[in-house]
């Protein structure tokens, strides 16, 4: 499925959740809607992203209006990031809808996608497993109970750690790609990228990224 079609599917699904009738038919009266929203701006060892926190706040508000129980993390370091994911996972029960939105730095290395806490330093390739969050692990946590999962990634900025992760000419460096890589979503998982895999998205010149701005407007006005 193309990036545009997949994003449209995410938006239409989110919009459908705002109507009581579709909520009962599609996800059941007993299901819950949980969202984890993380926005990182103030990186310690990488360029700051002014709109990361702004975008997370805006997405959090509109999801709450749509009926999601939202956990919001702003400028999350590695410890906080993992704590938030663990809490998110423990809340989920079979049949629930889970949504994860992330705005901040992300990268792909050796075919895997990683999201970066604000304290990630990544001085050498081995640091990646210790200091970054592997996206596939987050998706696995969201779908452990066979839940419907929506993943929205505004994280395709320039990779600030290319030289360190590529090993600077060393034989054990990683293969580092541009932006985030393509994902095999799997059944019941909707994934929306800010741009197509392998490309770089903009943080935005205004108060929000183009991706976050479009999401907020589309969720608020489903018709």
In a domain, 27, yes or no: no
Out of 10-14, 77-81, 184-188, 215-219, which region has the weakest mean confidence (pLDDT)?
10-14
The domain that contains 121 carries what CATH number? 3.40.50.1460
Distance of CA 200 to the CA centre of its chain: 15
In a domain, 45, yes or no: yes
In a domain, 127, yes or no: yes
In a domain, 161, yes or no: yes
Range of the domain at 109: 3-20+32-220
Q: Is the pLDDT of residue 58 over 60?
A: yes
Q: Tell me the average pLDDT across 66-87.
A: 96
Kindly indicate the confidence band of residue 29, based on its pLDDT and cuts at 50, 70 and 90: low
CB-CB contact of 183 with 140 (8 Å): no
In a domain, 26, yes or no: no
Count structural domains, the chain.
Answer: 1
C-alpha triplet 16, 21, 27: angle, nearest 5°: 65
Tokens, residue 9: 């599917």
In a domain, 80, yes or no: yes
Order of strands across the sheet that contains 33-39: 69-74, 33-39, 97-103, 148-154, 189-193
pLDDT for the residue 115: 95
Q: Is the pLDDT of residue 161 over 90?
A: no
In a domain, 50, yes or no: yes
């Amino acid at each position: 499925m193309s990036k545009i079609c997949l994003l449209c599917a995410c938006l239409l699904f989110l919009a459908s959740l705002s109507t009581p009738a579709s909520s009962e038919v599609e996800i059941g009266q007993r299901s819950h809607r949980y969202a984890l929203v993380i926005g990182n701006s103030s990186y310690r060892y990488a360029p700051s992203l002014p709109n990361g926190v702004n975008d997370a706040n805006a997405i959090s508000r509109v999801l709450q209006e749509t009926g999601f129980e939202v956990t919001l993390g702003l400028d999350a370091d590695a410890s906080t990031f993992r704590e938030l994911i663990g809490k998110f996972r423990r809340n989920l029960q079979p049949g629930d809808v889970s949504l994860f939105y992330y705005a901040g730095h992300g990268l792909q290395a050796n075919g895997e996608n990683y999201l970066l806490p604000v304290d990630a330093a990544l001085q050498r390739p081995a640091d990646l497993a210790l200091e970054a969050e592997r996206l596939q692990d987050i998706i696995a946590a969201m779908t452990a109970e066979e839940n419907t999962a929506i993943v929205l990634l505004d994280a395709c900025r320039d990779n600030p750690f290319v030289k360190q992760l590529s090993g600077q000419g060393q034989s054990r460096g990683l293969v580092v790609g541009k932006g985030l890589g393509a994902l095999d979503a799997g059944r019941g998982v909707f994934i929306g990228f800010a741009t197509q895999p392998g490309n770089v998205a903009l943080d935005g010149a205004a108060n929000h990224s183009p991706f976050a701005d479009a999401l907020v407007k589309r969720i608020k006005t489903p018709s």
